[in-house]
Amino acid sequence: MNYLELTDADYDDKLREMGNYLWDLEQRADIASAEGQHSLVQELEAKILRQADRAHDFSQIAGSHRVLAAFVAGLGYRMSRHWQRAAEHFQSVVQLSPMNGEAWLELTWCFAELGQWHECEIAARKSVEIFPKTAASWGNLALALAGLAKIEEAREAIRRAIQLDPADPRNLAIEEQLGRTDAS
């Protein structure tokens, strides 16, 4: 197929399909991993990576679809643990669409995995600014602050996250980790 002949609407439709397919592949890979089916996980992650590469190719073609293409590519790279490539794509998204809160959330995850705590804090603060009532934003901020050894600020952020969603297991684990810093 000649992708140069597609309209922006065509790209948007295709990219949304790809995004949905990525979510499906990620769910299947998570289940396969939990069941110890390592060869199936590898097969599914290879499919995820192929979709990420395809979305990346779309992001290189001029048009209004580039933000969505970069986001979908970032998701695929994040799902396949290619943290630097994912971060680069989410950075492209926030440069083109600075109020894209989902991209800021994803970017914090990538920076945390890369151990880039200063950048993680910046992205997490932007996420909190855009999504002040979202537990994931506050949890990511707590994680970033803990990575920078700003423990009291991290505790305040995780308290806010847990107020917003008391059952979130990830935020409860961060709270427990921050509690252990008292014993250190």
At residue 16, the pLDDT reads: 96
The ranges assigned to domains in the chain are: 1-97, 101-184
Nearest to 135 by CA among 85, 88, 172: 172
List, run by run, the mean pLDDT of 10-residue segments along the chain (184 residues). Answer: 74 96 97 97 98 96 94 98 98 97 97 98 98 97 97 97 96 92 57
Please name which of 4, 45, 50 lies closest in space to residue 27, comparing C-alpha atoms. Answer: 45
Q: According to CATH, what is the number of the domain 101-184?
A: 1.25.40.10
Question: In one letter, which amino acid is 57?
Answer: D
What per-residue confidence (pLDDT) applies to 183?
Answer: 52
Q: What is the pTM of this model?
A: 0.90
Q: What is the per-residue pLDDT for 182? A: 58
Query: Which ranges of 97-168 would DSSP assign to H, the alpha helix?
Result: 101-114, 117-130, 135-147, 151-164
Q: How many CB atoms lie within 10 A of CB 60?
A: 11
**Would you state the pLDDT for residue 5?**
76
Report the pLDDT value the prediction gives residue 46, as an integer from 0 to 100.
Answer: 98
pLDDT of residue 180: 77
